[in-house]
Structure 1
Amino acid sequence: MSEFETGLDLSDVTPQRVIRLLTDSDWVQTGGRSGLYARFAARQAENGQLGHSVVIPLNPEAPDYQMVLVEAIDAIKAIRTDDDGTDVVNRILTTPTDEFSFAKETAAPPGWIRWDDGMSLLESARAFLASGAKSAREPAKYFGNRYGQFAKRFLGEVMMGQTAVGSYVVRAYVPTSTVVPIHGGVPVEEAALFPGTDSVIGRDVSQTLLSTLEAATDALDYFRATESFAAFTEGDYPISYEAVRALQAIASNADESAVRVSWEPDAPETPAQTWAFEFSPDAAPVLAQAAVRLMRPEPHPETPAEGTVHLLTRAEESGPGVIGITTLTGHPANKVRVQLQGNDYHRAVLAHDEGQIVHVVGNLEKEGNLSWLYDARITSISAPVDPATRPGARREDPGLFELPGPADG
């Protein structure tokens, strides 16, 4: 290896991977010598003709290998193509990723889109990725707030790429080997995580997203043939309400729309796999009706808890809020955060003021060291406990102030 200093991390860059990524981006091999180098040319964005070429060195043992490789990467970045060279370089220099592109063609000029439609595409792409993360945890027809924090951790690992020239495309890159912990609060580098038990890897989410796209397009074809929604609601592969709503938004207000997937191979010499899922304008209303049928939450065992209120917080005076309760029995944990709607939140405030015990039920979810009850409700409020044994409480409403207990006068 030469002493040429690059300033680039070339540890994961192999000639085979560079060539495959160029080929995926419609570059064409125009020459070369076996075992020494390969010459590739890009199609020009203006006319589709082959333009400038670059030389990819093939022998890592050659003294000028690293220098020629860096020069090739710089040249690729500078060449303007239909698939921007900068995007190709980013994929070359990062760990392997699976690409998801969300495209929407409208009546706007090429490369432009109405602001609202563009924001909708971005938000629906995010929602679709989040639905895949939730389904990777547990297949379901409806999630609601379940696994929301896990989906957020997954999205924190995803990269966004540039839009393509001449169209409006949102690109997402999912690192294939990234480890997403099921429970938050512990840095990945400090934990011993086992995929499928206490973590999910990026490729698993990519596989879930791909399976969802295949199932959704099959269900659309089945509906067109039979006018039945059975493939959405009773198919072999469960499609979630959240995924269908995201696909509906992608297909809405568009002359045509598509989700394309490019699979990063496990081995550099393996060719990439690509899929394209296209949605015509008539797909949007069908997806909307399918979403209504999937919206009914599945039966989910609710978890009870009872105790005294030690925390009161909400963002808006009339909106929902979160309370913290110290449980009497230590079940499901010694302290539990509970998400309540407005009226129940007011009842919790009164229960705190009177030192009473609140009895709640909701969907239990662990987030790091915290136990949460989502979609919770108060089932009853019972007699006050001894004020001398009741924990103090704090309120974090706008204009933060402490709530005195009854013993504080």
Structure 2
Amino acid sequence: MQIAEDRESWTRVIYPRLAVDASDEFRFRRESSAPSGLIDWRSGERLIESARRTLLAGAKFFLGPGRHFVNRHGRFASRYLDEVLMGQTAPGSYIVTAYAPPHAGISLSASGGDMSSLPDVGVAHAREVSQAVVRAVEATAEAVEHYRTSGSLSGFEAGVPRGISYEMTQALLGIAANSDGADITVEWDSSSSESIPESTHFEFRGSDAEPLSKAAVRLAEDRSSRMVTMIGRVHLLAKKDVGSPGVFGVEALTSGPARKVRVRLADEEDYHEAIRAHEEDLALQVSGKLEKEGNLSWLYNATVIRTMGHVDEYQRPRSVRNVSAGQIDLFDNGASQLPEQSPDPSRGNQ
């Protein structure tokens, strides 16, 4: 009788847990001004994307820490994600639920396949990977808290061995940015006889976007080369090769060393953000190694830090340069114009 009277609870909470095998549960919640359980479409898309990136970043950390994984460990992380189910939003604000089966085997090799009949050699259990996700989120949340009290990013640098990475800071940035509050809750399935970890809960504020953004820039830096960060409008998208990160053009909206650049991404995941920025006329913050090639300026090994506000909120800077007679202005505005043409495939991934 109680279940019949509470159909909402049955369809959203009880039935999904009965319909799937044993599973550890991740809940990604974001406060919304819409009615309970609803969210504006774009924010909902970003929350799902950020939840996906959180799981991928933690899975990459399972194989070893890194400041910036780029595509490293990407196939393993994707195999872990293939074992995860997505549930409906729960009542309240807006909640995306991920169900990760604790006993699923994730191959450590690229061959993949059915892991159910294989010995543990060369196979990771999904719960171990899920625990790595939680450790990485925990370390990042602690670094955010340290920034709140000290204003220092040192906690992010120190936390890299514990799972903090560019990928994780960017994933959590997508959850926290422009929110009225967000959190991640993890509950572990208790059906197995093994010891069960304690449930965990992490909270984030909209103001946490600032340290997460700054940390993402720092963690993405290649200290062996000249890295620059710029904010601009995406005006060209090109992806010739299947599975390649893609290339796009950015026209600067704030002062910087170049007015237009071509951006060659380090990670194909970032290409989706560039597409969204282009479709919604949003400014994009990107970081990469700046190089000049003929009349073109390039950002190589580049990363998308985050999408900003609408491009109309930014005024294009007036270029003021002090170039002495006989000197060459390396980043002359006229020379750095980005032609509307496909990138040169011979460049390859840098």
TM > 0.5 fold call: yes
Distance, in Å, in 1 between the alignment partners of 2:204 and 2:27 is: 13
Distance, in Å, in 2 between the alignment partners of 1:260 and 1:340 is: 32
- Residue 170 of structure 1 aligns to a residue in which SS? strand
Cα offset for 1:177?
Answer: 0.7
Cα offset for 1:294?
Answer: 0.9
Is 1:228 aligned with 2:152?
yes
Whether contact under 8 Å (1:265, 1:273) holds in the other structure is no
Whether contact under 8 Å (1:96, 1:176) holds in the other structure is yes
- Residue 109 of structure 1 aligns to a residue in which SS? coil
Counterpart residue number, 1:31: none
Whether contact under 8 Å (2:143, 2:155) holds in the other structure is yes
Unaligned runs of 5+ in 1: 1-51, 54-75, 300-316, 323-337, 343-361, 363-409
Which amino acid in 1 is paired with 2:241? Answer: G
258, 261, 286: which is aligned to 2:186?
A: 261
Counterpart residue number, 2:257: none
Distance, in Å, in 2 between the alignment partners of 1:152 and 1:318 is: 24
Work out the number of aligned pairs and report it. Answer: 237
Whether contact under 8 Å (2:32, 2:93) holds in the other structure is no
Counterpart residue number, 2:108: 182
Is 1:252 aligned with 2:177?
yes
138, 142, 149: which is aligned to 2:64?
A: 138
Cα offset for 1:92?
Answer: 3.4
Aligned positions of 1:319-338 closer than 5 A: 319-321=239-241
- Residue 146 of structure 2 aligns to a residue in which SS? helix
- Residue 276 of structure 1 aligns to a residue in which SS? strand
Unaligned runs of 5+ in 2: 225-236, 248-265, 267-350
Is 1:172 aligned with 2:98?
yes
Distance, in Å, in 2 between the alignment partners of 1:271 and 1:150 is: 24
Distance, in Å, in 2 between the alignment partners of 1:230 and 1:138 is: 21
Counterpart residue number, 2:51: 125
Is 1:210 aligned with 2:130?
no
Whether contact under 8 Å (1:142, 1:297) holds in the other structure is no
1:142-168 deviations in whole A, cap 9, x for unaligned?
111112222221111101111112321
- The answer to which structure has the higher strand fraction is 1
Which amino acid in 2 is paired with 1:159? Answer: L
1:309-329 deviations in whole A, cap 9, x for unaligned?
xxxxxxxx964537xxxxxxx
Is 1:219 aligned with 2:143?
yes
Aligned positions of 1:6-405 closer than 5 A: 52-53=1-2, 76=3, 78=4, 80=6, 83-189=9-115, 192-195=118-121, 198-235=122-159, 237-265=162-190, 267=192, 273-296=198-221, 319-321=239-241
Whether contact under 8 Å (1:158, 1:172) holds in the other structure is yes
1:347-406 deviations in whole A, cap 9, x for unaligned?
xxxxxxxxxxxxxxx9xxxxxxxxxxxxxxxxxxxxxxxxxxxxxxxxxxxxxxxxxxxx
Cα offset for 1:266?
Answer: 6.0
Whether contact under 8 Å (1:193, 1:199) holds in the other structure is yes
**Root-mean-square deviation over aligned CA pairs:** 3.2
Distance, in Å, in 1 between the alignment partners of 2:75 and 2:5 is: 40
Whether contact under 8 Å (2:188, 2:197) holds in the other structure is yes
Q: Decide whether aligned partners of structure 1 residues 247 and 81 sit closer, same or farther in structure 2, where only a CA change above 3 A counts.
A: farther
Whether contact under 8 Å (1:141, 1:298) holds in the other structure is no
The structure, 1 or 2, with the larger RCO (C-alpha pairs under 8 Å, 6+ apart) is 2
Whether contact under 8 Å (2:58, 2:137) holds in the other structure is no
Give the structure with higher Rg (CA). Answer: 1
Distance, in Å, in 1 between the alignment partners of 2:81 and 2:128 is: 14
Which amino acid in 2 is paired with 1:136? Answer: F
Distance, in Å, in 1 between the alignment partners of 2:133 and 2:45 is: 21
Q: Decide whether aligned partners of structure 1 residues 230 and 318 sit closer, same or farther in structure 2, where only a CA change above 3 A counts.
A: closer
Whether contact under 8 Å (1:265, 1:272) holds in the other structure is no
Whether contact under 8 Å (1:112, 1:167) holds in the other structure is yes
Cα offset for 1:231?
Answer: 0.9
Distance, in Å, in 1 between the alignment partners of 2:118 and 2:223 is: 33
Cα offset for 1:290?
Answer: 0.9
Distance, in Å, in 1 between the alignment partners of 2:111 and 2:192 is: 33
Counterpart residue number, 2:331: none
Q: Decide whether aligned partners of structure 1 residues 91 and 231 sit closer, same or farther in structure 2, where only a CA change above 3 A counts.
A: same
Whether contact under 8 Å (2:61, 2:136) holds in the other structure is no
